[in-house]
Amino acid sequence: MAKRNIITLPDPLLRRSSAPVERVDDELRTLIDDMLETMYDAPGVGLAAVQLAIPRRLIVMDVKYRNSDEEGGEVARAPIAMVNPEILTRSEEMRVHEEGCLSIPEFYAEVERPANITVRYLDREGKQCEMACGDVLATVVQHEVDHLNGKLFIDYISRLKRDRVIKKFVKAAKGEVVA
């Protein structure tokens, strides 16, 4: 396993749709492991392959992860990898959750999304699966699937706030002082 670099706003790759994964093999499983290591190290609860500059339809997440340094105990992990995830259903019931993104560091905003979803995907062995997701898991899956479609969580906030965030990251990328 190896940690990889996470691309950040304003990298244009974050706004492109990702291509489907054609086959689940050892190379893909290595990428999954690298993505998980990168996500845990960041630390985050989800990561899309496109955030590592690999525009393929692959996401990893772990909403139950607890860092042993913070909790004073063992590391608890429940990683999930989804290859070619497709959201099949979305509930009418909505849920507001504060979101952040490893590609937009140190910015958080409340986002409203469907409270429950059903997602179909291939697991790390290439087996087709369906999962009903609620609460935080539903939010994380939707956030990561949005990445695969070139959409960011800041697209759900007001245009004024979004423009300020983008401007800040564009200035930082140019090496300008950010206020």
Length of the chain in residues, anyone?
A: 179
Q: Clarify whether 22 is annotated catalytic.
A: no
C-beta pairs of 152-158 under 8 Å, 24+ apart in sequence: 152/9, 152/14, 152/15, 152/101, 152/103, 152/104, 153/99, 153/100, 153/101, 153/104, 153/109, 153/111, 154/101, 154/104, 154/107, 154/109, 156/109, 156/111, 156/112, 156/113, 157/109, 157/111
Q: Catalytic one among 71, 86, 106, 144?
A: 144
Cite the active site residues: 144
